[in-house]
């Protein structure tokens, strides 16, 4: 165990961080999942590399040893929803970083509680508006287990549900009222322009 003042890094940078295609792909992932920095994405890649390394090492073991250690890995991954209960090591090797990012609290809150963007969900989590069961969780990168997923809800004192409901009810009315306002204003504009045209005709006739 190392000194707690100097924790070990839990992420590794890509070998070619200035590659254009890699940078564009990273930026797209950051926007899709609402990540704050690329470091959060690199943590997911590092964790995925660790899991896949464990799966490859199990494939190289004898059948007796593999049968003893494989359920430990599979149960831990199934617990957080990365694989199903009847998955194999090949399914573990096919995992991507997006699969890990999809199990973040921020991502699940975005889909489950009706936020428009993952950045709105991140702000709600950081400000303590989200609860898992009976406890508040203010860490957007928290990995949600399958059992905890159904217990995610707003804190009792949070006013975000009312705000979200208000925006949902206001947007359709604004869209419906816009054509009516345009239709009501159109005759007035036509009526205002009509006398002006009549005056021009009268002046031209007198001349």
Give the residue-averaged pLDDT of 177-181: 39
Output the pLDDT for position 1. Answer: 53
Q: Name the pTM for this structure.
A: 0.76
Give the residue-averaged pLDDT of 40-63: 94
Same domain, 95 and 7: yes
Percent of the chain with pLDDT over 90: 68
Same domain, 5 and 38: yes
Same domain, 178 and 91: no
DSSP letter, residue 184: H
145 in Cβ contact with 182 (< 8 Å): no
What is the SS3 assignment for 136? strand
- Residue 5 predicted with pLDDT over 70: yes
Same domain, 5 and 90: yes
Identify the band that residue 178 occupies on the pLDDT scale cut at 50, 70 and 90. Answer: very low
- Residue 163 predicted with pLDDT over 70: yes
Cβ count near 46 (within 10 Å): 16
Give the residue-averaged pLDDT of 40-45: 95
Same domain, 1 and 78: yes
Output the pLDDT for position 2. Answer: 63
What's 119's domain CATH number? 3.10.290.10
Output the pLDDT for position 207. Answer: 44
- Residue 188 predicted with pLDDT over 60: no
CA dist., res. 171 & res. 83, Å (int): 39
DSSP states of 36-83 as a string? Answer: SSHHHHHHHHHHHHHHHHHHHHHHTS-HHHHHHHHHHHHHHHHHTTSS
- Residue 174 predicted with pLDDT over 60: no
Total number of domains in the chain:
3
Same domain, 11 and 83: yes
Same domain, 31 and 109: no
Give the residue-averaged pLDDT of 45-73: 94
- Residue 55 predicted with pLDDT over 80: yes
Give the residue-averaged pLDDT of 21-45: 95
Same domain, 61 and 111: no
Mean pLDDT for all residues in the chain: 83
Domain boundary among 82, 102, 122: 102
Output the pLDDT for position 172. Answer: 58
Q: Which residue reads 């889909």 in tokens? A: 111
Strand order in the sheet with 130-132: 135-136, 130-132, 152-154
Same domain, 4 and 98: yes
Record the tokens describing residue 127, joined without a space: 């400000």
- Residue 201 predicted with pLDDT over 90: no
Domain boundary among 65, 87, 102: 102
Residue that wins the pLDDT comparison between 173 and 2: 2
Expressed as residue numbers, the domain containing 181 is 159-207
Same domain, 91 and 20: yes
Same domain, 19 and 74: yes
- Residue 182 predicted with pLDDT over 70: no
pLDDT tens-digit profile of 80-130?
999 999 999 999 999 999 999 999 999 999 999 989 999 999 999 999 999
Same domain, 1 and 56: yes
User: Per this entry, what is the length of the chain?
Assistant: 207
CA dist., res. 127 & res. 172, Å (int): 29
Output the pLDDT for position 3. Answer: 75
């Amino acid at each position: 165990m190392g000194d707690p003042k100097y924790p070990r890094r839990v992420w590794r940078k890509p070998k070619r961080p200035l590659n254009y295609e890699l940078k564009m792909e990273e930026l797209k992932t950051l926007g899709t999942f609402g990540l704050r920095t690329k470091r959060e994405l690199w943590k997911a890649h590092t964790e995925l590399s660790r899991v896949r390394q464990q799966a490859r090492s199990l494939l190289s073991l004898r059948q007796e040893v593999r049968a003893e250690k494989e359920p430990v890995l599979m149960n831990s991954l199934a617990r957080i929803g990365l694989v199903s209960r009847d998955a194999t090591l090949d399914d573990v090797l096919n995992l991507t970083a997006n699969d890990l990012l999809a199990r973040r609290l921020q991502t699940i809150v975005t889909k489950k509680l009706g936020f428009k963007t993952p950045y709105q969900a991140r702000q709600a989590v950081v400000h303590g508006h989200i609860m898992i069961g009976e406890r508040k969780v203010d860490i957007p990168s928290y990995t949600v287990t399958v059992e905890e997923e159904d217990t995610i809800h707003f804190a009792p004192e949070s006013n975000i549900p009312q705000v979200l409901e208000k925006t949902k009810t206001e947007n359709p009315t604004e869209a419906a009222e816009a054509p009516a306002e345009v239709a009501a204003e159109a005759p007035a504009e036509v009526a205002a322009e009509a006398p002006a045209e009549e005056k021009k005709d009268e002046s031209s006739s007198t001349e």
